[in-house]
């Protein structure tokens, strides 16, 4: 297994400090603060450590402060409720004595019920698409340092955007993105791990979808973005080491915030998960 995937899995091996207290390591992925998906995934893993024979079906989270990737994060789990078929957990993430994140997660025993879903959009297969998620070296040299650093880092997640990305001459476009993604190498059959990793991956691309109608109205690198809240629902079994399609749209941006939602489909067209997020979307002061 490659170093990049091994390192990702290491982040989800939380250290148990007490019965309901865990410590997780952070990583620098090229952004100014801890990547929100890392905190989502680790918080869910911490909650899973207090659950038996149930699987997560939803989580609702708020990002309260910027996390420092140079320091570990402490996760406090509150066992809110244990029922026959549902259990609830509340998780608080702490750094330097302050809450940086909080979430509530609900778990359910697997059962049968009524079944319907939306239809997966018709898109090219991931194998037919180039890796447009990274700029060429020539283009990268023309980007701001921070953006170039973020885009060029080796990632454990492979991405194949359906729509091409022009990193230099961006023009306004509909608030829609579709991207295939997966963990770069085969994983074990641990369902808990796959769900935590999908929570990790779900923070990619959501908020950037809300910027698409505004491309060309502000200089590249001048948009300040940060997740405010994040909700995620798990519908059907899946594997994150197989290609999944993230179908994203942003119905609104206003008041310095952007809102986006996404549907995750597997290759067979099954809707496996849904996401919604609102985040800060602000052009740096003094820029237009």
Q: Considering the domain boundaries, does residue 58 fall inside one?
A: yes
Per-residue pLDDT for 24 more than 90?
yes
The mean pLDDT value of the chain amounts to 91
Q: What is the pLDDT of residues 119-172, one digit of tens each?
A: 999 999 999 998 766 666 766 676 666 666 666 667 899 999 998 766 665 688
Half-sphere exposure (Cβ direction) of 101: Cα atoms closer than 13 Å: 33
Q: Considering the domain boundaries, does residue 125 fall inside one?
A: no
Whether 95 is catalytic = no
Which range is least confidently modeled, 53-67, 158-172, 261-275? 158-172
* pLDDT more than 90, % of the chain: 75
Q: Considering the domain boundaries, does residue 117 fall inside one?
A: no
Q: Considering the domain boundaries, does residue 273 fall inside one?
A: yes
Please state the rounded mean pLDDT for residues 195-199.
98
Give dist(CA 197, CA 272) in Å, integer. Answer: 14
Whether 227 is catalytic = yes
Q: Considering the domain boundaries, does residue 11 fall inside one?
A: yes
The pTM for the full model equals 0.91
Q: Considering the domain boundaries, does residue 99 fall inside one?
A: yes
Q: Per-residue confidence at 288, pLDDT binned at 50, 70, 90?
A: very low
Please tell me which residue in 76, 227, 250, 263 is annotated as part of the active site: 227
Whether 85 is catalytic = no
Q: Considering the domain boundaries, does residue 123 fall inside one?
A: no
Contacts of 115 (CB under 8 A, 6+ apart): none
Q: What is the pLDDT of residues 68-125, one digit of tens each?
A: 988 999 999 999 999 999 999 999 999 999 999 999 999 999 999 999 999 999 999 9
For residue 61, the domain's CATH number is 2.40.160.210
Please tell me which residue in 76, 202, 274, 277 is annotated as part of the active site: 277
How far, rounded to the nearest angstrom, does the alpha carbon of residue 154 sit from its chain's CA centroid? 17
Tell me the residue range of the domain where 94 lies: 3-110+130-283
Q: What is the pLDDT of residue 147?
A: 62
Number of structural domains, the chain? 1
Please tell me which residue in 203, 250, 263, 266 is annotated as part of the active site: 203
Q: Considering the domain boundaries, does residue 217 fall inside one?
A: yes
Q: What is the pLDDT of residue 244?
A: 98
């Amino acid at each position: 297994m490659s170093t990049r995937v091994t390192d990702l899995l290491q982040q989800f091996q939380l250290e148990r400090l007490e019965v309901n207290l865990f410590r997780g390591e952070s990583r620098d992925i090229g952004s100014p603060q801890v990547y929100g998906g890392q905190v989502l995934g680790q918080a869910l893993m911490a909650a899973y450590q207090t659950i038996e024979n149930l699987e997560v079906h939803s989580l609702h989270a708020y990002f309260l402060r910027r996390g420092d990737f140079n320091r570990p994060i402490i996760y406090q789990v509150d066992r809110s409720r244990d029922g026959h078929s549902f259990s609830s957990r509340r998780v608080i993430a702490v750094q330097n004595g302050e809450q940086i994140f909080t979430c509530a997660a609900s778990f359910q025993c697997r059962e049968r019920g009524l079944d319907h879903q939306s239809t997966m959009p018709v898109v090219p297969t991931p194998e037919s698409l180039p890796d447009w998620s990274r700029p060429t070296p020539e283009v990268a040299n023309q980007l701001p340092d921070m953006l170039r650093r973020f885009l060029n880092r080796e990632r454990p997640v492979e991405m194949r955007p359906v729509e091409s990305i022009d990193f230099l001459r961006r023009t306004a476009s509909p608030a829609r993105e579709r991207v295939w993604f997966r963990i770069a190498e085969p994983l074990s059959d641990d369902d808990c791990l796959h769900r935590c990793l999908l929570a990790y991956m779900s923070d990619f691309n959501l908020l950037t979808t809300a910027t698409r109608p505004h491309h060309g109205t502000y200089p590249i690198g001048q948009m300040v973005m940060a997740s405010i809240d994040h909700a995620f629902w798990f519908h059907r079994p899946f594997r994150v080491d197989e290609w999944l399609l993230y179908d994203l749209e942003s119905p609104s941006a206003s008041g310095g915030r952007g809102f986006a939602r996404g549907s995750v489909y597997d290759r067979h067209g099954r809707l496996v998960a849904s996401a919604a997020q609102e985040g800060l979307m602000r052009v740096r002061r003094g820029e237009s």
